[in-house]
Structure 1
Amino acid sequence: MTPTNSLSSSAERIAFSGLRSLRDLNLEISALSEQIRLILAKALAREEISIAEGITLFECEGADLDALKRTASHLCHQVHGDRVGFVVNRNINFTNICYMGCKFCGFAKRSEDKGAEFLSFDQVVARAQEAWDRGATEVCIQGGLHPKLEGTYYRDLCKAIKAALPDMHIHAFSPYEIWYGAAKSRMSYHDFISDLMEAGLGSMPGTAAEILDTEIRQQLTKNKLSTEKWVEIIRAAHEVGLPTTATIMYGHIDGPEHWAAHLALLRDIQKDTGGFTELVPLSFVHSDSPLYTQNPDKVRPGPTSMEVDKMHAVARLMLHGWIDNIQVSWTKLGPDRARQMLQAGVNDLGGTLMNESISRSAGSDFGQEITPHEMVQIIRGAGRVPYQRNTIYETKACYANSDPEEQAPLVERSVDQNLSFLRMFPDVREQAGAGERGHLEPSQSLWVGGRQSASKNAANGGAS
């Protein structure tokens, strides 16, 4: 690291403005290592964090880690104020029959296996209708790559849902499914995705990313969907106007160099397209994952607690100004740990889900649903202001001084689903101020960094 007294004039400017911001956060500057101090100052000055700097952040500990989290929380507050969002949705996995053989997946079954399932269109629509009746604005639909699936299946499924529920947002089909459906249909990615949009597809989950590194993907999936293919499909979606999420699955055979490069690649895509609505870090669930159970000496049992903190915080710093929604996965971490991430740069708790199969099949035991009322209590427990959003971050309701109706979970809980911690918190509605964005009107969007912020992206060199 270049000594402070020999920094270039540009670096001196960054260091001056950023270090002043660090002091404003009441951080003990002298307790921080020089590298971390300068990187955090750079982030606070809205300068881009490099891959090498990202690796350094992922390796920090102690006072440096505390400063990283506080810096991430500060940057998050600059964009979102005290507001934390959630969406009322339902997961529908239409089939678990899949022969791709991804080593980390505990969800897939062969057709003859006990528990193999393939829902009919009527069954999918019935589940979507049930979700709508419970206040859902979105269905999240994914499935295994069934060998007998026709390429037209995905389009026809969208049409069936839209025929019954024209106002339901369909968030569906991973890049893996797009690759599979386009190949079956003998269509280009652009044409296949456009066809799905005409049938009612509203957005696409950016799953199947795992780690966007060829060597790692070779071990996870035999590189059946390469990094290049994943990027090509995501770019195609954005180019035809379909927004997507972005994900990273970490804590298995990967490390800081892979994480930082993955985040930088997502940032580069966003600069060009503006099509990502959010990043969702997904911690590896190991218990029933073949990747771990077959190689326990070579595969880590998920990320450490510090790595979870770092992933969300570093993502906030590296993606700040480009992908400004960082979501925590409560199905991976549990509701209480998810709440803690609201102090590390996270601004969204994701979906209520109602059903969840993929994490549970890998060994997660955090349940299938958090009701809207429980979402509000979790967010208030962190001293933040809850709001319900839709898929593209338009506000549906703000719960600064009110509560959504209490509901029993759709699937009966056999245990307390680790929500007993909520009893620790008093009603903090009066304490949690609305923040600078606490009174957004319905329909205003916080899809910051997406197509609705195209002017900002263009000003920073990104395409609109």
Structure 2
Amino acid sequence: MTQLRKDELTDKVNNGERLTRQDGEDLYDSDDLAWLGGLAHQVRQQKNGDVTFFNVNRHLNLTNVCTASCAYCSFERKPGQKDAYTMRVEEAVEKAVAMQGDGLTELHIVNGLHPTLPWKYYPRVLRELKAALPDVALKAFTATEVHYFESISGLSADEILDELIDAGLESLTGGGAEIFDWEVRKQVVDHNTHWEDWSRIHRLAHQKGLKTPATMLYGHIEEPRHRVDHVLRLRELQDETGGFQVFIPLRFHNDNNRLSHLSMAQPADVLKTFAVSRLMLDNFPHVKVFWVMHGLSTSQLALNYGADDMDGSVVEYKITHDADNFGTPDKLTRDDLLDLIRDAGFTPKERNTRYEVIREYDGPVSLAERRAAPQAIWA
């Protein structure tokens, strides 16, 4: 990229002008990570200052039995296969109740597309979970799952969402997005939920007052232009509904799936993806880095490349850890997250699912404060 083009893009960002598809592709073409990070960090600071949000959440996967066999997935099992499981409602509630310590505020529920579970199982699980944990928000089901519920129930997504909301649903999850471009999608996805249905279901959720996340699975067979196309579709839908709270880039993991021959995205590509996403998605209030999929050090760096949210104190996250642990722990406590955020130079704020701040914390200790403190404290 020429210096003239970099200057043009810098001026557009400084002037708050919306970036185009060509702008996004040119940003990906740049190898100047310091410049990209500076632009993205500038936008991040304008939107959220030096704050990094987090929440105390747990992941609950009701079943890993799935009719689909997506090329990137390491989680799904077929009926009767070793390690296949499906929780009874009572078992799911018991497991969730056991997770409620440490100020839990959110349960994140994603599952396989089970071939025989009846539709009524899903709202019943939510009702029982809400009864057992009335102060815990239920963020549950991808648009892919809701689309699947349409096929097994004979109901419309409109009716399905109404029943799930009545049962306690507070937000859909952002999954099932992968990459929206059809030429890529048809090679990695083994279900029939594509952009048209994914966007239809999130649009309906937004119309009903739900705020939802959106994701992008990157670093497999897609090219940068496909990532740009993906975020532009989301940006257009956000212009229409205003219902997305956060964008979450998810790094593809290459173990125990049909794409294991591919290399995973390296840190430079990770940081570039966060920076370009932050710059393109001018109408998204937040960008989240999911530390389980990116590792702790890269996640801290991503906070300087546009991300302002570090996903919470996850326990037993099966979907990635079934693929490859790659050195990340299964759990971070609240204190762990506070330390990571402060060490990266940011002020932590604990939020709930609606991004309402429920607790504020002191920011990072400055070098001057460290030097002024008694030496024994920092030894």
Report if TM-score (shorter chain) is over 0.5. yes
- Corresponding position of 2:21: 51
Q: Which among 222, 229, 241 is matched to residue 261 of structure 1?
A: 229
Equivalent residues in 2 for 1:406-417, closer than 5 Å: none
List per-residue Cα deviations over 1:380-399 (Å, max 9, x = no partner).
10111111111111111111
Equivalent residues in 2 for 1:64-463, closer than 5 Å: 65-222=33-190, 224-290=192-258, 292-293=259-260, 296=261, 300-320=262-282, 322-365=283-326, 366-400=328-362, 428-430=364-366
Shift of the 373–432 alpha-carbon distance from structure 1 to 2, 3 Å rule, reads farther
- Corresponding position of 2:30: 60
- Corresponding position of 1:457: none
Which range moved further: 218-227 or 109-118?
218-227
Shift of the 182–431 alpha-carbon distance from structure 1 to 2, 3 Å rule, reads farther
RMSD over equivalenced CA pairs, Å:
1.7
Report deviation, 1:362: 2.0
- 1:118 and 1:110 mapped to 2: Cα distance? 11
Shift of the 202–431 alpha-carbon distance from structure 1 to 2, 3 Å rule, reads farther
Q: Which amino acid aligns with 2:140?
A: A
Q: Which amino acid aligns with 2:133?
A: L
Give SS of 1:326's match.
strand
- Kindly indicate whether the alpha-carbon contact (under 8 Å) linking 1:330 and 1:338 is maintained by their aligned counterparts in 2: yes
- Kindly indicate whether the alpha-carbon contact (under 8 Å) linking 1:251 and 1:302 is maintained by their aligned counterparts in 2: yes
Which range moved further: 360-369 or 136-145?
360-369
Report deviation, 1:289: 2.1
Q: Which amino acid aligns with 1:429?
A: V
- Kindly indicate whether the alpha-carbon contact (under 8 Å) linking 1:383 and 1:431 is maintained by their aligned counterparts in 2: no
- Kindly indicate whether the alpha-carbon contact (under 8 Å) linking 1:249 and 1:284 is maintained by their aligned counterparts in 2: yes
Q: Which amino acid aligns with 1:108?
A: E
Report deviation, 1:82: 1.0
- Kindly indicate whether the alpha-carbon contact (under 8 Å) linking 2:68 and 2:191 is maintained by their aligned counterparts in 1: no
TM-score by length of 1: 0.77
- 1:283 and 1:93 mapped to 2: Cα distance? 20
- Kindly indicate whether the alpha-carbon contact (under 8 Å) linking 1:387 and 1:399 is maintained by their aligned counterparts in 2: yes
- Structure 2 gaps of 5+ residues are 370-379
- Corresponding position of 1:461: none
Shift of the 189–70 alpha-carbon distance from structure 1 to 2, 3 Å rule, reads same
Shift of the 431–94 alpha-carbon distance from structure 1 to 2, 3 Å rule, reads farther
- Corresponding position of 1:36: 6
- Kindly indicate whether the alpha-carbon contact (under 8 Å) linking 1:40 and 1:68 is maintained by their aligned counterparts in 2: no
Report deviation, 1:222: 4.1
- Corresponding position of 1:442: none
- 2:75 and 2:331 mapped to 1: Cα distance? 18
TM-score by length of 2: 0.93
- 2:34 and 2:275 mapped to 1: Cα distance? 10
- 1:302 and 1:389 mapped to 2: Cα distance? 31
Which range moved further: 357-366 or 197-206?
357-366
- 1:76 and 1:432 mapped to 2: Cα distance? 25
Q: Which amino acid aligns with 2:15?
A: A
Higher relative contact order (CA 8 A, sep 6+): 2
Q: How many residues align?
A: 368
